[in-house]
Amino acid sequence: MLDFRIEDIMTKNLFTVNHDEIVSEVAKLFDEHSFHHVLVVNNDGDLEGLISSTDLDRTKSGASFFRNPKKEEYDATLLRAMRACDIMTKDLVTLQETDSIRRAYEIFKKNKFHAIPILSRGNLAGIITPNDILDHFFK
């Protein structure tokens, strides 16, 4: 079962944001949907990075590092001033849709991240998470 191809289990219905998207708008996406990762693309649709819900939470909590009587207003202003490219992870590990599930498992096992973008002929094709692998084995 680990030798199945990633394309058999990856998520293909992707949420992406442009690298210039305002962080407060990215936060709205996370609030409106139940995903934990959003892929960041440039104007040509090429993958540039990834924002996890943890990245966003860290950004939100770090915005008001100093005590401020108008914390919410201050945080909202900062999140409107920051762009997706300011908080995204840029150095991504990617896989091809034809790679094996075993390959993805090995990468997750060795690293602390929880999402791998999947490419097909250089284009963004999907994303895989440890939950996708678990779901595959329990179906």
Which phi-psi region, left, alpha or beta, contains residue 74 (left: φ > 0; alpha: ψ -120 to 50)? alpha
Query: Which residues partner with 17 through β-bridges?
Result: 40
Looking at domain 6-138, its CATH superfamily turns out to be CBS-domain (3.10.580.10)
For 70-108, the pLDDT digits (tens) are: 767 777 777 888 999 999 999 999 999 999 999 999 999
For 11-64, the pLDDT digits (tens) are: 999 999 999 999 999 999 999 998 899 999 999 999 999 999 999 988 877 655
- For residues 72 and 35, is the Cβ–Cβ distance under 8 A? no
- For residues 75 and 64, is the Cβ–Cβ distance under 8 A? yes
Which pTM value belongs to this model?
A: 0.87
Domain ranges of the chain: 6-138
